[in-house]
Amino acid sequence: MQHNEANSGEDDLIRLLLKRQSELNSLLEITRAINKNTATPVLIQMFEVICQNYLHMGKLRFLIEDEGVFVCISKYGGQTEPTYELYKACLLLKKFREAIPVSGHKNGILSQYDYYIPIYQKNKPVAFALIGDFKSPEEMVSNDLNFMQTLINVILVALENRKLFKQQLQSERFQREMELASDVQNMLIPVRMHKDEHIEIDARYLPHQNIGGDYFDFIRINDHEYIWCIADVSGKGISAALLMANFQASLRAWVTVEPELTNIIDRLNDIVLKNTKGEKFITLFLARYNQQTRKLNYINAGHNPSIMFCDGEAVPLKLGTTMIGAFDDLPFLNEGEVDVEPNTLIFNYTDGLMDHEPDVSKQWNDDKLVNCVIKNGKLPPIDFNQAILDHLNKAIKAKPIDDITLLTLKIF
């Protein structure tokens, strides 16, 4: 019975992860259409298809603010109401900033719907949505409403971007994109500190311009094994953030069912290539550690080599393959395996740590980083990361040109 319950729990987790991946794939499709400058009516049609077929919303009214006036840009299902009457009804709920049920509301229009979803920017209402005939399972209602809000935000950003482009306000458009992408990325960042009897972890993320393509994760997969990953997605902005989100969902889904790192990397390569058509790529370091055998297996896919420090010696972990998403079939794929001694420190980082402008290679390079690891490798991860950043601030009088992510583990 316990075995069956465990299998059922695993099945539920996989279903949830695959649902998350489907959501992110929908966002990627919308983003691709935005990047191709697809006409607004087609974007709205895509939005409606997702609402009807994926979120199972039988009725929708979607109003946005345009030059001080609210207009209904999407509507289907039920008897159509005048836009002004819809707007007046929504004003009755102006004190609410989150999605709320309205099926029992005394207002005749609101009572015909299940939920009201407001979108505010800087304390100003910019959009309202009313949804009805909502067939989402009870346990997924909150998830689906949150996804709906994200979807609306993507559409709003796209429409606003086109408006700003026409007005030659490129800088404001860029900021909007960064804010949305930052929201997406903040959903993905795991706990940055962790400590138990076997391992201690500290992570730092220093974005260069609000949002970038850096990603890290730490996943315990059973009682004695865990996996971690650090990755860098090419590009910036919404497309990079959504690709990173899709990558996270794919990684978390596969590590729960696939024990071989080489197979996971092959699967991830296929997924990234399918989603980006070779236009973007990801470098990553993926590792699995077994507390019982003290074996560390890893694959470095075109990423800066992680550094393993123990007993005064620092060893770069280089075995692996090329970046993923660039080739239909990876030209080579090697898995590294090392024994981990007690009190070993493993330092993972992205290339932003090494890239500065102007050229500072004489002051800061791979050899100097290794020396810095050796000097500070006995420190706890939180102090080690701070020592690395302090060294950068003191020794290098130049600003980084990319995001910096540090993920440091100490294995006891």
> 267-276: per-residue pLDDT in tens?
999 999 998 8
Give the Cα separation of 51 and 83 in Å (integer).
20
Give the Cα separation of 209 and 138 in Å (integer).
39
pLDDT at 6 (0 to 100): 53
CB-based contacts of 159, cutoff 8 Å, min separation 6 = 40, 64
Q: Does 192-411 carry CATH code 3.60.40.10?
A: yes
168: how many CB neighbours lie within 10 A of its CB? Answer: 9
State the architecture of 2-168 in CATH terms. 2-Layer Sandwich (3.30)
SS3 state at 330? coil
pLDDT at 244 (0 to 100): 82
Q: Two tokens at 284?
A: 């990553």
3-state DSSP: the chain helix, strand, coil percent, rounded to 5? 40, 30, 30
pLDDT tens track for 81-116: 999 999 999 999 999 999 999 999 999 999 999 999
pLDDT at 15 (0 to 100): 65
Cα–Cα nearest to 219, from 244, 193, 192, 252:
252
pLDDT at 350 (0 to 100): 93
SS3 state at 112? helix
Strand order in the sheet with 100-101: 69-76, 57-66, 124-134, 115-121, 100-101
Give the Cα separation of 149 and 285 in Å (integer).
33
315: how many CB neighbours lie within 10 A of its CB? Answer: 15
pLDDT tens track for 34-65: 888 888 899 999 999 999 988 889 999 999 99
| Buried b / exposed e along 204-233 (16+ C-beta atoms within 10 A) | bbbbbebbbbbbbbbeeeeeebbbbbbbbb
Q: What is the pTM of this model?
A: 0.57
Give the Cα separation of 100 and 118 in Å (integer).
9
pLDDT at 191 (0 to 100): 54
SS3 state at 136? coil
pLDDT at 109 (0 to 100): 95
β 295-301/320-321 pair status: parallel
SS3 state at 31? helix
Low-confidence ranges of the chain (pLDDT < 70): 1-13, 15-16, 165-192, 208-212, 237, 357-359, 398, 400-401
pLDDT at 27 (0 to 100): 83
What single DSSP character describes residue 53? Answer: I
- What are φ and ψ of residue 163, in 5° steps? -65, -45
β 225-233/214-220 pair status: antiparallel
Boundaries of every domain in the chain: 2-168, 192-411
70: how many CB neighbours lie within 10 A of its CB? Answer: 19
Q: Two tokens at 1?
A: 């019975």
